[in-house]
Each structure stands twice: as structure tokens, then as C-alpha cells.
């Protein structure tokens, strides 16, 4: 059963103040391990595909990960547990910050040793649907010497390196922060997630 150690209000306050935050304990540790095992098994079975970039969904040298998107109605039990928990967070952020978030999209991401993702912005050109980016890390016993940090570029020109320790969740505003994934010396596992609003001009 998922615990309530995750402080939704503190996450919302940090996001409002700084535009990003790193928080622990979104999922129960057993659920995090289940996601890591499934991600690894799917990757070993070649069920993850080379990631694509941009609105045209093209394979690019800019990024080196392989991904598997979570499909509504066809999720495994570990995926469903994550989807339900991240949706609770979406609702909390709406309540605290009135962001108008209507849905989440998520995928597993595996970077093999030496692979990375060049500096980029998550909000796509001519599409303002993505509001909050979330990255949930699945790597037990990760050491900083393993590399693989997500480098988040701050507005003052500085940057912060976020190491992908299992159970930690990075949140940041999709339109505000450029970021990159630095190469690691071991497989690097995560779930990338975007909380979305209805695009401007969308019906309904």
C-alpha cells in the first residue's frame, strides 16, 4: 500500500517559489523496486524503443535513451500504481497552484552506459500542453561517481546536477528550465512524466 510520506503541499510550495524541486518518497520502496524490475525486464526483452524528439517524433542523435510509453487501459500493476500516485500529485498541484492540469503522460526511459540527452526544453514548439515535467528515478545504490545526473539550468545562469537515486522525484516547470542528461557508467533507469493542460485553442 502506498504510504503518505510524500508531502504534496511542500512540493507545491517549492514549485511555486523556485519553479523546481526534488522530493523523496513518492512511492513505497517496494513499488519503486517493482517498477525498476519491470523496466529492466522490458529493456532486456527489447520492448523499449529508441526515443524520438520533437513534434515530428524523429530519432535524433540528441538523445540516446530507449523508452516505453504507459498506455491507458493497458498498464501493468506497477505502472498503474505509479499512474495513480502521480495523478494524486497532479490534483494536489491543481488545488494548490491552480495550474489547470488535466492529464499525465509517462514512459520508462533507459540510458545505456555512455548515452545522454543534449540540452533541451520539454515544452514543444507551438504546443503549450506540457506544464510540469516530472522524473521519477529507479536506480538503487547509485553513486555520484556513476554519473548520469540531470543537469538543470537555472535562470541565473547556474545549474544544479540531480543524481538519479531510486525513489526521488524531480519536478520542474516545462517551459522554464532547459536541462540535459549526462552520460553514466551504468544503466540509468527512470520514468519521465509530463503533466499537461489543454493546449490553447483546443476544443472542449
Query: What does the pLDDT average to over 20-38?
Result: 96
Q: Cα separation of 85 and 31, whole Å?
A: 11
Query: What does the pLDDT average to over 60-87?
Result: 94
Grade residue 62 by pLDDT with cuts at 50, 70 and 90. confident
pLDDT tens digits for range 132-190: 999 999 999 999 999 999 999 998 999 999 999 999 999 999 999 999 999 999 999 99
Q: Is the pLDDT of residue 29 over 50?
A: yes
Could you give the strand order of the β-sheet that contains 188-196, starting from the edge strand earlier in sequence?
A: 20-23, 169-173, 130-137, 188-196, 103-111, 66-69, 49-50
pLDDT tens digits for range 89-100: 999 999 999 999
Query: What does the pLDDT average to over 15-32?
Result: 95
Strands (E), the chain: 20-23, 49-50, 52-53, 58-59, 66-69, 103-111, 117-120, 130-137, 150-153, 159-162, 169-173, 179-181, 188-196
Query: What does the pLDDT average to over 7-14?
Result: 94
Query: What does the pLDDT average to over 7-19?
Result: 95
Q: What is the pLDDT of residue 124?
A: 78
Grade residue 6 by pLDDT with cuts at 50, 70 and 90. confident
pTM score > 0.85 for this model? yes
Amino acid at each position: 500500500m502506498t504510504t503518505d510520506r510524500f508531502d504534496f503541499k511542500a512540493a507545491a510550495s517549492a514549485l511555486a517559489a523556485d519553479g523546481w524541486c526534488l522530493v523523496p518518497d513518492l512511492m513505497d520502496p517496494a513499488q519503486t523496486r517493482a517498477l525498476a524490475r519491470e523496466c529492466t525486464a522490458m529493456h532486456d526483452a527489447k520492448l523499449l524503443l529508441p526515443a524520438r524528439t520533437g513534434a515530428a517524433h524523429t530519432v535524433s542523435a540528441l538523445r540516446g535513451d530507449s523508452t516505453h510509453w504507459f498506455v491507458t487501459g493497458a498498464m501493468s500493476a506497477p505502472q498503474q500504481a505509479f499512474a495513480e500516485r502521480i495523478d494524486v500529485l497532479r490534483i494536489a498541484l491543481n488545488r494548490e497552484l491552480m495550474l489547470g492540469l488535466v492529464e499525465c503522460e509517462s514512459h520508462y526511459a533507459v540510458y545505456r552506459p555512455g548515452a545522454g540527452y543534449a540540452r533541451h526544453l520539454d515544452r514543444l514548439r507551438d504546443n503549450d500542453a506540457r506544464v510540469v515535467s516530472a522524473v521519477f528515478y529507479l536506480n538503487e545504490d547509485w553513486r555520484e561517481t556513476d554519473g548520469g545526473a540531470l543537469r538543470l539550468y537555472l535562470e541565473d545562469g547556474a545549474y544544479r546536477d540531480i543524481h538519479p537515486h531510486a525513489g526521488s522525484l524531480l519536478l520542474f516547470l516545462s517551459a522554464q528550465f532547459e536541462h540535459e542528461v549526462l552520460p553514466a557508467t551504468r544503466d540509468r533507469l527512470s520514468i519521465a512524466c509530463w503533466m499537461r493542460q489543454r493546449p490553447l485553442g483546443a476544443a472542449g
